[in-house]
Every structure is written in structure tokens, then in C-alpha cells.
Amino acid sequence: MSGIPQPAFYIFKCQQSAPPGMPKPSCVSQSNPESQEIFQHLGQTLMRKGIIATAIPIQTGCLSRCQQGPVMLIEPGHTMYVNLTKEKIDRIVDEHIIGGKVVQEYVIADEFWGEPIEPSSIA
Ligand code: FES
């Protein structure tokens, strides 16, 4: 007997919002009104396509790539998407989540996304 199926994807969307006047940029900001709608758009898109049970959107705090915001991380795959818009979300859902192919042009540049640091190497 098999158990309840696992989700295929967890989509971590940074929802950090810095107060006005804060020098550091944040993924949700008043100066970028669209940034305030991206998470809701993501959830609605997954729902509309009927896949929200297997591609779960999760709101997170800062993912440490604030200069490239709005950002979201897709697991599995450790794929960091940057400078998001609603239009980019649509393509990512269609091509990556449904189609299984990473949208390379929206992925963070290598210079900002090196290899992971293994905790065992610094503990
Ligand atoms: S505020 Fe989103 S990555 Fe830091």
C-alpha cells in the first residue's frame, strides 16, 4: 500500500519587506508595486492549473540574495530565480514546474550563486 504522494516541488518565495527608507533592497517593496502581487499571482496560477497540491508555494523571509529581488527558490533542484515579475512566474510554472525544464534566462547568475557550502566543512 502506498502512502500519500509527496509534492513534486516546494516553491519558496521571499516575502521580506523592508520599511521605507531602508538602504538595503527587499523582495517586496513599495517602490515596486508588482512585487507585492507576485506571491498571490503564483498561488493563483498554480491553483488555476490544478497543480497546487504537488507544487506548493511557501512564503519565506530573506533568502540572502536581496540585490536580485524579487527572488524565489525551487526545490528540488536548488534553482534560484531572480528579478521576478508576474509574467516570469507564468513562464516558470509552465516550463519548469509543468514542463520540467529550468528557465535559464531567469536563473541567478553564477557569480551570485556559487556552489553550496556544506555545513560539515565549516562546523
Ligand atoms: S529580501 Fe528577499 S532575498 Fe533578501
Q: What's the CA-to-centroid distance between 5 and ligand 1, angstroms?
A: 31
β-strand partners of 73: 12, 80
Q: What's the CA-to-centroid distance between 69 and ligand 1, angstroms?
A: 6
Label residue 97 exposed, middle or buried (CB < 10 Å: 0-12, 13-18, 19+).
Answer: buried
DSSP label of 10: E
pLDDT given at position 10: 98
pLDDT exceeds 70 at position 1: no
Whether the full predicted model's pTM is greater than 0.95, yes or no, is no
Which residue CA neighbors atom 1 of ligand 1 most closely? 26
At residue 77, the 3 state secondary structure works out as: coil
Span 66-108, pLDDT tens digits? 999 999 999 999 999 999 999 999 999 999 999 999 999 999 9
Hey, what domains does the chain have and what are their CATH numbers? 14-110 (3.40.30.10)
Q: Name the residue type at position 88.
A: K
Q: Is 69 in the pocket of ligand 1 (CB under 6 A)?
A: yes
